Amino acid sequence: MSSTYLPNGLPQPGTGPDGVSEPYWAGTREGKLRIQRCSACQSWQWGPEWICHRCHSFDIEWVEIEGRGVIYSYERPHHPVHPALNGHGPYLVVLVELPAHGKVRMLGNLLGDPLQEVVIGAAVEAVFEPHDDAEPPYTLVQWRRVG
Amino acid sequence: MSERSLRGKTAIAGIGETTYYKHGQSPHSEFKLCLEAVVNACADAGISPHEVDGFASYGDDRSDAGHLAAALGIKELKFSNMFWGGGGGGVCGAIGNAAAAVATGMADCVVAFRSLAQGQYRRYGRSSAAAQLSGDDSFVVPYGVMSPAQRFAMKVTRFMHDHGIHQNALRAISLACYHHAQTNPNAVMRGRPLDEEKYDHSRWIVEPFFHLFDCCQENDGAAAVVVVSAERARQLRQKPAYIMACAQGSDTRSAAPVHNMPNYASSHFGQLGPRLYQMAKMTPADMGIIECYENFTGGVLMSLVEHGLVKPEEANDVLVKDNLIAPDGRLPLNTSGGNLAECYMHGLELVHDAVRQIRGVAINQVKNNDTAIIMGGPMVTPVSSLILGSEATL
């Protein structure tokens, strides 16, 4: 049984030359889920940007949060579009809304049976999924049902 | 000060296309296909390609204006323009940009085009070959969200959930497109009719709403339209299809990263639709021909709603095949087969069909043919829409 939800061989996350998301990926390696909050107007923001879309402050901080949310939408891809997924079968992707943090949304896989029924509005929590053997190593944030 | 509007100032005077091929089956290079479409469009208009003085395209088309102008011996290139964004979001916007150039005197004869040989380059429906991601992709691709179907499916899931719309509404869209393609000699899916049973039993691409037949094809081909002033169009050989309005852009922050656009369950036309009708001085009820870019049927559904053509609470009742097919349906949709069944020419085939409808020479001609609305590239950002009209609508 693989320790990761999807098989190895998929493209790996990176920050690229822009680098705006570097604190997020550094955080997940330490088991910390960090998203952006504007220091000037306190607005939560996700995904990462250099500027606050509301007040245009460049003073954006990375705040560690508790990874709890509700399923906002989902999909179950069947047709593989990457060789690493050939023969793997369907898998679940959820878009998770974080009510305590400005209703920002995060995306990940829903752990467990890929054929399970998915209910919009159901509560989920974040789970760290390290890919220690990758070069460079990285950690994804996944989601599982609670309650 | 005169009113700032494109309304009726320009017209599509010629359309041209190549044979449409399944992806990988074009015997010609992408650039050659493009040249052929431009030459055919000029011939249709009754002008020489030497008279063309501008090019506008979209979707990062690889056939660039400078090379086209050189190959075609254009005497003086006065306008070259690329609409930002991927997919078919720019199909109507490129024509609007061409019209804007002509209306403002920057150029006199602008060709808007799309050339696409997916067999020779990367296919849209596959993941990229990159091993290391950056930016937004880092937050979606490692979770298996790679292809357009996978990137857009959750918008549709949420929209269907919010409004209680059933799969049958999407099925009707697909059935109508395949129905229209069966009489179209240039439709790639001619001879491959679709019925309810075949749709229902088709394999899942992405659950819960994307069957195989909810997804567009991938093709090789090229298409082009010639845009000139209304006055010039009246002197040329074809009945003009006047550009009554074009609107492009996006809803508030619709490109917000990691699926954080405020209006998520949307085709991104919400703010654009009213602007389009305002310029045309028309209403949704005035639209005789409905052409909507199908990347996926769910995108069509949301586009129809956001252009005021269908109310979400009526979608289950209105979106049935009989309402969507020529000649008698109340919302004749994609009457040449569209991206699903004619050719995935990034929506330009929809514009061609609308022009033929207004001329009265369409494959599946409708009677109420004075106005046509075309909606390009639902769910991408930016998107664009167009209203074309006959002389009677001026």
Q: How much of chain A, in percent, has pLDDT values that exceed 70? A: 99
Of A44, A52, A142, A34, give the one whose Cα is nearest residue A96.
Answer: A142
Residues A48 and A102 occupy one common structural domain? no
Could you give the number of structural domains in chain A? 2
- In a domain? residue B151: no
Count of other CB atoms within 10 angstroms of residue B376: 33
Q: How much of chain B, in percent, has pLDDT values that exceed 90? A: 93
- In a domain? residue B128: no
Residues A34 and A78 occupy one common structural domain? no
Smallest Cα distance from B125 to chain A, Å: 7
Chain A positions in Cβ-Cβ contact with residue B259 (cut-off 8 Å): 95, 105, 107
- In a domain? residue A109: yes
Identity of the residue in A25, A77, A106 whose CB atom sits nearest the CB atom of B144: A77
Q: What is the pLDDT of residue B128?
A: 66
Distance CA B394, CA B392 (A): 6
Task: Judge: B158–A72 Cβ closer than 8 Å, yes or no.
Answer: yes
* Cβ contact B226:B111 at 8 Å: yes
Please provide residue A119's backbone torsions phi and psi, each rounded to the nearest 5 degrees: -115, 120
Q: What is the pLDDT of residue B132?
A: 81
Structural domain boundaries, residue B99: 10-121+216-393
3-state secondary structure chain B: CCCCCCCCCEEEEEEEECCCEECCCCCCCHHHHHHHHHHHHHHHHCCCHHHCCEEEEECCCCCCHHHHHHHCCCCCCCEEEEECCCCCCCHHHHHHHHHHHHHCCCCCEEEEEEEEECCCCCCCCCCCCCCECCHHHHHCHHHCCCCHHHHHHHHHHHHHHHHCCCHHHHHHHHHHHHHHHCCCCCCCCCCCCCCHHHHHCCCEEEECCEEHHHECCCEEEEEEEEEEEHHHHHHCCCCCEEEEEEEEECCCCCCCCCCCCCCCCCCCCCCHHHHHHHHHCCCHHHCCEEEECCCEHHHHHHHHHHCCCCCHHHHHHHCCHHHHCCCCCCCCECCCCHHHHCCCCCCHHHHHHHHHHHHCCCCCCCCCCCEEEEEECCCCCCEEEEEEECHHHC
Q: What is the pLDDT of residue A1?
A: 42
Q: What is the pLDDT of residue B86?
A: 84
- The CATH number that applies at residue A88 is 2.40.50
Helix (H, G, I), strand (E, B) or coil at A6: coil
Residues A145 and A78 occupy one common structural domain? yes
pLDDT tens digit string along A23-47? 999 999 999 999 999 999 999 999 9
- In a domain? residue A10: no
Residues A91 and A101 occupy one common structural domain? yes
Task: Evaluate if residue B43 carries a pLDDT over 60.
Answer: yes
- In a domain? residue B152: no
- In a domain? residue A90: yes
Residue B277: active-site member: no
Distance CA B116, CA B174 (A): 23
Reported as half-sphere exposure (CB side, CA atoms, 13 A), residue A72 has a value of: 22
Task: Judge: A75–B157 Cβ closer than 8 Å, yes or no.
Answer: yes
Distance CA B194, CA B191 (A): 10
* Cβ contact A52:A111 at 8 Å: no
* Cβ contact A94:A111 at 8 Å: no
Distance CA B348, CA A94 (A): 34
* Cβ contact B175:B193 at 8 Å: no
Residue in B58, B199, B277, B344 annotated catalytic: B344
Could you give the number of structural domains in chain B? 1
Task: Evaluate if residue B10 carries a pLDDT over 80.
Answer: yes
Residues A55 and A104 occupy one common structural domain? no
Distant-in-sequence, close-in-space partners of A57: CB < 8 Å, separation ≥ 6: A38, A39, A40, A41, A51
Task: Judge: B142–A13 Cβ closer than 8 Å, yes or no.
Answer: yes
- Burial environment of residue A130 by CB neighbours within 10 A (0 to 12, 13 to 18, 19 or more): middle
* Cβ contact A59:A40 at 8 Å: yes
pLDDT tens digit string along B159-186? 999 999 999 999 999 999 999 999 999 9
Q: What is the pLDDT of residue B177?
A: 98
- In a domain? residue A6: no
Task: Please state the pTM of the whole predicted model.
Answer: 0.96
Distance CA A33, CA A25 (A): 9
For chain B, the straight-line distance linking the first and the last C-alpha, in angstroms and rounded, comes to 20
pLDDT tens digit string along B70-129? 999 999 999 999 999 988 999 999 999 999 999 999 999 999 999 998 777 777 777 666
Distance CA B188, CA B340 (A): 9
Matching residue, tokens 């061989």: A9
Beta bridge partners of A38: A60
Task: Evaluate if residue A2 carries a pLDDT over 80.
Answer: no
Smallest Cα distance from B251 to chain A, Å: 14
Reported as half-sphere exposure (CB side, CA atoms, 13 A), residue B346 has a value of: 32
- In a domain? residue B142: no
Give the pLDDT mean for B174-199: 97
Give the range among A97-101, B2-6, B150-154, B339-343 with minimum mean pLDDT: B2-6
Chain B positions in Cβ-Cβ contact with residue A12 (cut-off 8 Å): 131-133, 142
Task: Evaluate if residue B2 carries a pLDDT over 80.
Answer: no
Distance CA B149, CA B298 (A): 10
Residues A71 and A60 occupy one common structural domain? no
Q: What is the pLDDT of residue B148?
A: 94
pLDDT tens digit string along B320-350? 999 999 999 999 999 999 999 999 999 999 9
Q: What is the pLDDT of residue B38?
A: 98
Of A119, A143, A94, A71, give the one whose Cα is nearest residue B145.
Answer: A94
Q: What is the pLDDT of residue B129?
A: 64
Residue B199: active-site member: no
Q: What is the pLDDT of residue B131?
A: 74
Task: Judge: B265–A75 Cβ closer than 8 Å, yes or no.
Answer: no
Distance CA B78, CA B70 (A): 13
Number of A–B residue contacts, CB under 8 Å: 140
Residues A51 and A84 occupy one common structural domain? no
- In a domain? residue A134: yes
DSSP H/E element including A109:
strand A104-109
Residues A116 and A104 occupy one common structural domain? yes
- The CATH number that applies at residue B378 is 3.40.47.10
- In a domain? residue B263: yes
Residues A36 and A78 occupy one common structural domain? no
Identity of the residue in B137, B154, B253 whose CB atom sits nearest the CB atom of A75: B154
DSSP H/E element including A25:
helix A22-29
Question: Is the Cβ of B204 closer than 8 Å to some Cβ of chain A?
Answer: yes
Structural domain boundaries, residue A72: 67-147
Residues A23 and A45 occupy one common structural domain? yes
Return mean pLDDT, chain B. Answer: 96
Residues A84 and A135 occupy one common structural domain? yes
Identity of the residue in A75, A104, A140 whose CB atom sits nearest the CB atom of B206: A75
Q: What is the pLDDT of residue B119?
A: 73
pLDDT tens digit string along A110-140? 999 999 999 999 999 999 999 999 999 999 9
Give the pLDDT mean for B260-268: 97
Task: Evaluate if residue B48 carries a pLDDT over 60.
Answer: yes
Residues A130 and A143 occupy one common structural domain? yes
Task: Judge: B257–A18 Cβ closer than 8 Å, yes or no.
Answer: no
* Cβ contact B322:B205 at 8 Å: no
